[in-house]
Amino acid sequence: MRDSELTVAYYTEDMQKIVRYLLSGFALTILTFESGKAAECPVTDLVPNTTISGSLSADDCTIKDLLGGTDGSKVDQYRLTLPVSDSVTFTMQSDALDPFLYLYNNDLTERLADDDDSGTGLNATLTTTLSAGTYRVLANSSTQLSALGDYQLITVVPTLLSQTLVVSSILPVSRSVAINGKATTFATIINAGTSEGLGCGISLASGIAADFSYQTTDPATNRSVGEANTPVNIAPGAYQTYLISVTPVAELSPQEVSFSFKCTNSPAAGTTTGLNTLLLSASSVQPPDIVALAATVKDPGIINLPDVTGSGFDVFSVATVNVGSTGSVTVAADTGSTTLDLLLLLCQTDPVTAACINPTVPSSAPVTTEIAAGTTPTFAFFIAGREDVPFDPAGNRVFVRFRDTDGNVRGATSVAVRTAL
């Protein structure tokens, strides 16, 4: 799924007071840049096993706009995200033009396949095996007929025919509580398949000493609905939100706690650390417990690096609330287990003006600050790329971690990162 879908998760009522600090209007002159014509070309997401009606018109972008070179023929671009590996068939058919199909990786740097006339008549049909990931399909025309006109694009993914396939996420992804204290987080199960998900629920997968429960919530209000620990059905293409409660009954060193998200007619969602796992700890004395939310400027949950020179920046902000005890916390950013050549700068910000206050100029050094119980400090992160970063929302991420004086993580959040298209 797209990263914005993978992170459909919600915050508790206690966190609503910090929404005004999400800095959604963050505007910094040093971050403005011109991405070129390709950034203006619209992209339509393909739904597997459906037919899209399109039209090549005089107002469309050209191959030259997207790929460079001299080809001025018109093109529509589509994006397909596969949750599983499969043999995929694309068919472009038209009575008005001679269809031509291109298949590229998601950042349009590698042509994977193309076809002109493998379908019936002059229609284009392209069948290839693809790994799970995101791809671009370009609907173009050959020169044998008019270069403009209506067409249909058919996408067939056999694995997803009449199948329930679920993916999941949680937010926040870190909690620190006292023993017998309840750690709550919100979860989302998305039915990415084509059949209704039956009896979709959550269970605790990690073997920790803790009580566990879950309950469905209203996505619009985050309020609990229905009965606790009661599975529900999820329509194809839809999602359901839940409140998860984990109550450790013994001391627990910080560790990633995993859950089983599944329907009775589906395999369990895959586990991805930092996306659908909870970094949980419990101690005899309540420590700082930093609930953190990240907000990006353009695409939800995604940093778009403007270039690979290390000088063009994108930015995201993190709003927090300390629902634990007062403590000194060090804030830093990293790329997790994936090595990415990025320049990561940060600062603590004024919640009203968004200006850097600690330090006053963004720095690559971690930021240490005292966070009192109940307070809502905000932070800004400036990211520049020194290499091309493909769109892999599960693997290519920037993590923000809040550590106490003993080095224990007391809060965390993350965003996906990619080189801008």
CATH number, residue 337: 2.60.40.3670
Residue ending a domain, among 286, 320, 345, is: 286
Asked if residue 153 and residue 184 are part of one domain, the reply reads no
Residue ending a domain, among 160, 195, 222, is: 160
6 domain residue, yes or no: no
Domain that holds residue 349: 23-34+287-421
Q: What is the CATH number of the domain that holds 212?
A: 2.60.40.10
Residue ending a domain, among 286, 304, 323, is: 286
Share of residues in the chain with pLDDT > 90 (%): 67
| Cβ-based burial of 343 (10 A; exposed 0-12, middle 13-18, buried ≥19) | middle
Of 380, 324, 376, 321, nearest to 348 (Cα)? 380
Q: Please tell me the distance from the alpha carbon of residue 349 to that of residue 23, in angstroms, as a whole number.
A: 10
Count up the domains in the chain and report the number.
Answer: 3
15 domain residue, yes or no: no
Asked if residue 416 and residue 313 are part of one domain, the reply reads yes
**pLDDT score, position 248:** 98
Does residue 11 have a pLDDT over 70?
no
405 domain residue, yes or no: yes
Asked if residue 68 and residue 55 are part of one domain, the reply reads yes
Positive/negative CA dihedral, 337, 244, 4, 323: negative
4 domain residue, yes or no: no
235 domain residue, yes or no: yes
In tens, the pLDDT along 210-266 reads 999 999 999 888 899 989 999 999 998 899 999 999 999 999 999 999 999 999 888
Q: Please tell me the distance from the alpha carbon of residue 269 to that of residue 262, in angstroms, as a whole number.
A: 6
In tens, the pLDDT along 360-388 reads 999 999 999 999 999 999 999 999 999 99
Asked if residue 188 and residue 150 are part of one domain, the reply reads no
Asked if residue 296 and residue 250 are part of one domain, the reply reads no
In tens, the pLDDT along 53-92 reads 999 999 899 999 999 899 889 999 999 988 778 899 999 9
Does residue 31 have a pLDDT over 50?
no
Does residue 152 have a pLDDT over 50?
yes
Rg (Cα) of the chain, in Å, rounded? 23
Contacts of 23-28 with CB under 8 Å at 24 or more apart are 23/295, 23/317, 23/319, 23/349, 23/354, 23/378, 23/380, 24/295, 26/295, 26/297, 26/315, 26/317, 26/354, 26/380, 28/315
The answer to whether the predicted template modeling score (pTM) of the entire model surpasses 0.75 is no
Asked if residue 226 and residue 120 are part of one domain, the reply reads no
**pLDDT score, position 194:** 78
Q: Please tell me the distance from the alpha carbon of residue 410 to that of residue 421, in angstroms, as a whole number.
A: 35
Q: Please tell me the distance from the alpha carbon of residue 317 to that of residue 28, in angstroms, as a whole number.
A: 12
In tens, the pLDDT along 289-345 reads 999 999 998 888 999 999 998 889 999 999 999 999 999 999 999 999 999 999 999
205 domain residue, yes or no: yes
**pLDDT score, position 289:** 97
Query: Across 157-171, 260-274, 355-369, 382-396, which has the greatest mean pLDDT?
Result: 355-369
Asked if residue 177 and residue 126 are part of one domain, the reply reads no
Does residue 19 have a pLDDT over 90?
no
**Is 139 in contact with 210 (CB distance < 8 Å)?**
no
| Cβ-based burial of 296 (10 A; exposed 0-12, middle 13-18, buried ≥19) | buried
Backbone angles phi and psi of 67, in degrees to 5: -115, -5
233 domain residue, yes or no: yes
Asked if residue 411 and residue 296 are part of one domain, the reply reads yes
Q: Please tell me the distance from the alpha carbon of residue 63 to that of residue 399, in angstroms, as a whole number.
A: 36
Name the pLDDT band for 37 (thresholds 50, 70, 90): low
Does residue 4 have a pLDDT over 50?
no
Name the pLDDT band for 38 (thresholds 50, 70, 90): low
Asked if residue 269 and residue 173 are part of one domain, the reply reads yes
**pLDDT score, position 129:** 93
Q: Letter for the amino acid at 231? A: P
> Among 14-18, 33-37, 258-262, where is mean pLDDT lowest?
14-18
Asked if residue 190 and residue 131 are part of one domain, the reply reads no
**pLDDT score, position 146:** 56
376 domain residue, yes or no: yes
Share of residues in the chain with pLDDT > 70 (%): 89
Name the pLDDT band for 421 (thresholds 50, 70, 90): low
- For residue 268, the SS3 value is coil
> Among 81-85, 97-101, 281-285, 368-372, where is mean pLDDT lowest?
81-85
Does residue 199 have a pLDDT over 70?
yes
**Is 279 in contact with 247 (CB distance < 8 Å)?**
no
Does residue 110 have a pLDDT over 80?
yes
Q: What is the CATH number of the domain that holds 121?
A: 2.60.120.380
Asked if residue 294 and residue 421 are part of one domain, the reply reads yes
Which residues in 70-160 belong to E strands, given as ranges?
76-82, 86-93, 99-105, 111-115, 124-130, 133-141, 149-156
Asked if residue 274 and residue 397 are part of one domain, the reply reads no
Q: Please tell me the distance from the alpha carbon of residue 366 to that of residue 180, in angstroms, as a whole number.
A: 32
